[in-house]
Amino acid sequence: MKVGWFGAILIILLGTVIGTLLGQIVGLLLPGGAAHDIFFKGVSIGLKEPVHLDLSVLQVIFGITLSVNPLTLVGLLLAIYLVMRFGSK
């Protein structure tokens, strides 16, 4: 089965979302401490405040934040492996 660019991006995005959710669940199961913070909070990368562009007729608000924990990276790598293994046939 051949997966196009859109399908590959969708699979990779889905892998990171599932990994993040699993990291949140593991963080809830761990007692408080450093391991809990690593899995539950992770690392946030992105804009702290949204960027506003006001053109009087049109107002655009842009902001993006990525929350990464160890299982997010596992999900990302697994999704990339699956796309490369099964998507290129």
Residues 42-75: tens digit of each pLDDT: 788 888 888 999 999 999 999 998 888 888 999 9
- Decide: helix, strand or coil at residue 69: coil
Phi first, then psi: what are they for 33, rounded to 5°?
A: 150, -165
What type of residue is 3?
A: V
Share of the chain above pLDDT 70, in %: 97
Q: How far apart are CA 74 and CA 46, in angstroms?
A: 20
pTM here is: 0.71
pLDDT over 60 at 89, yes or no: no
Query: CA angle at residue 79 from 73 to 82, to 5 degrees?
Result: 145
Q: How confident is the model over 12-29, as a mean pLDDT? A: 88
Confidence of residue 88 (pLDDT cuts 50, 70, 90): low
